[in-house]
Amino acid sequence: MANFELADRVKHLPPYLFAAIDKMKQDAVAKGIDLIDLSIGDPDIPTPDHIVTAMKQAVEKPAHHRYPSYEGMLSYREAVAEWYRQRFNVALDPKTEVLSLIGSKEGIGHIPLAFVNPGDVVLVPSPGYPVYPVGTMFAGGEPYIMPLKEENAFLPDLSSIPSDILKRAKLMFLNYPNNPTSANAPVDFFKHVIEFANKHNIIICHDAAYSEMYYDNNKPKSFLEFEGAKEVGIEFHSLSKTYNMTGWRIGFAVGNKAVISGLGKIKSNLDSGVFQAVQEASIAALKTDDSTLSNIRSIYQERRDAMYEGLKTIGLSLNKPGATFYLWAKVPAAFDSSGFVSHLLEKCGVLGTPGVGFGAPGEGYIRFALTQPVSRIKEAVKRIEKAL
């Protein structure tokens, strides 16, 4: 029998975090456990009806049954530009500064292929989305870890990056509001990042997937709102979390037209764009009345309050998130993060995500996603208390 050997880039991959979590879920369900899954950030709230209706109508149009354009329908890119104008007061040219994506994950994974050569460095926040370092490695680049520490409000310390690393650095990934820590970035941080990028000729890739999942009317800012941002970088966004459209696989990248063009060159060679019916439905999504989104946020805020107060009452240490639908809690001293996740699953049927799965600096933490109704969240807290 033939022996087919994997490429080194695949051999050296760490196990994909959420694939491992999915295996744990399957095993628990097979054992008959009443599982409360708080592990993966997949919204349980359905996509709003008007978006589904727009999709049904769009699917019936024969024009959408053919290949879409690589960069996305101009009408979709115009809707993105209008959304940015209304939400952030940022002006974008839909023809050159907006690019459709098959979900923001796809664009984040592909951007290093456009700008990173073997031996180049990409600055990666950790704990963070696993795609940042993996996309870097696929391009032959070297991820340089920027630890996000609680004592630094989960912001990277740019002054600690060695000069020899900065000479080889081509890209920097950032993500605020942050997954998994739920931290937000202050205004001064983004201003500092722009100065830093200009000084060291680094492309900033800001992942803003959670910008619309905020609480107490404290709206996060876009990186592109700040003077000079468009000269040094781009922003990735997704319709997944904002509109509960994770399965639809659509997002966009906006910003510096040279960077957008480079990413577009990769995409035109590797994919054939997003199904146009999905793009048309996404135009309806981007025009959603804020009262609909406010109702969604209020559901998550009620869940956040229930989970935060519950975990705090039973003795876990955590910060109250101002955005995202995650809680980032310290694990008890007797456990490491993987051990605590296994303990909760075995003892009480509650599944979280081990902090170390987001990178070594995440050790000592567990992430809970607010993707269950309040009643199940309160039940989860009761079970965790007993397990402790």
Pairwise CA distance, residues 329 & 322, whole Å: 14
Quick one: which of 63, 84, 83 has its CA closest to 73?
63
Helix (H) or strand (E) holding 280: helix 276-286
Would the pLDDT of 239 be above 80?
yes
Last residue of a domain, one of 252, 286, 320: 286
Domain-embedded: residue 156: yes
Question: DSSP assignment of 40-101, as one string?
Answer: S----SPPPHHHHHHHHHHHT-GGGGSPPPSS--HHHHHHHHHHHHHHH-----TTTSEEEE
Would the pLDDT of 21 be above 80?
no
Confidence tier at 151 by pLDDT (50, 70, 90): very high
Q: Are 256 and 224 in contact (CB under 8 A)?
A: no
Question: DSSP assignment of 320-334, as one string?
Answer: PPSBSSEEEEEPPTT
List the CATH number of the domain containing 118. 3.40.640.10
Q: Are 290 and 214 in contact (CB under 8 A)?
A: no
Q: Are 262 and 343 in the same domain?
A: no
Q: Are 111 and 242 in the same domain?
A: yes
Q: Which of 8-12, 17-21, 100-104, 349-353 has the lowest mean pLDDT?
A: 17-21
Q: Are 232 and 342 in the same domain?
A: no
Share of the chain above pLDDT 90, in %: 91
pLDDT of residue 374: 98
Last residue of a domain, one of 286, 303, 322: 286
pLDDT of residue 78: 98
Confidence tier at 383 by pLDDT (50, 70, 90): very high
Q: Are 242 and 342 in the same domain?
A: no
Q: Are 63 and 159 in the same domain?
A: yes
Q: Are 244 and 354 in the same domain?
A: no
Quick one: which of 217, 189, 214 has its CA closest to 206?
189
Would the pLDDT of 46 be above 90?
yes
Q: How many domains, in total, are found in the chain?
A: 2
Average pLDDT, integer, range 295-314: 97
Distances from the Cα of 189 to the Cα of 157, 209, 312, angstroms: 10, 18, 29
Domain-embedded: residue 208: yes
pLDDT of residue 29: 82
Pairwise CA distance, residues 365 & 180, whole Å: 10
Would the pLDDT of 20 be above 80?
no
pLDDT of residue 320: 96
Q: Are 257 and 320 in the same domain?
A: no
Q: Are 258 and 298 in the same domain?
A: no
Confidence tier at 23 by pLDDT (50, 70, 90): confident
Q: What is the mean pLDDT of the chain?
A: 95
Tell me the torsion sign for CA atoms 25, 29, 31, 32.
positive
Q: Are 149 and 36 in the same domain?
A: no
Quick one: which of 18, 31, 16, 41 has its CA closest to 349?
31
The residue type at 88: F
Q: Are 352 and 38 in contact (CB under 8 A)?
A: yes
Would the pLDDT of 85 be above 80?
yes
Pairwise CA distance, residues 33 & 272, whole Å: 42
pLDDT of residue 32: 87
Domain that holds residue 240: 49-286
Q: Are 295 and 188 in the same domain?
A: no
Confidence tier at 1 by pLDDT (50, 70, 90): confident
List the CATH number of the domain containing 27. 3.90.1150.10
Domain-embedded: residue 2: no
Better-scored residue on pLDDT, 1 or 379? 379
Confidence tier at 117 by pLDDT (50, 70, 90): very high
CA distance from start to end of the chain = 51
Phi-psi region for residue 273, left (φ > 0), alpha (ψ -120 to 50) or beta?
A: left
Pairwise CA distance, residues 140 & 143, whole Å: 10
pLDDT of residue 128: 97
Average pLDDT, integer, range 10-17: 78
Helix, coil or strand: residue 124:
strand
Domain-embedded: residue 1: no
Distances from the Cα of 151 to the Cα of 144, 156, 298, 319, angstroms: 20, 11, 30, 12
Q: Are 171 and 238 in the same domain?
A: yes
Domain-embedded: residue 367: yes
DSSP state of 71: S
Last residue of a domain, one of 286, 305, 329: 286
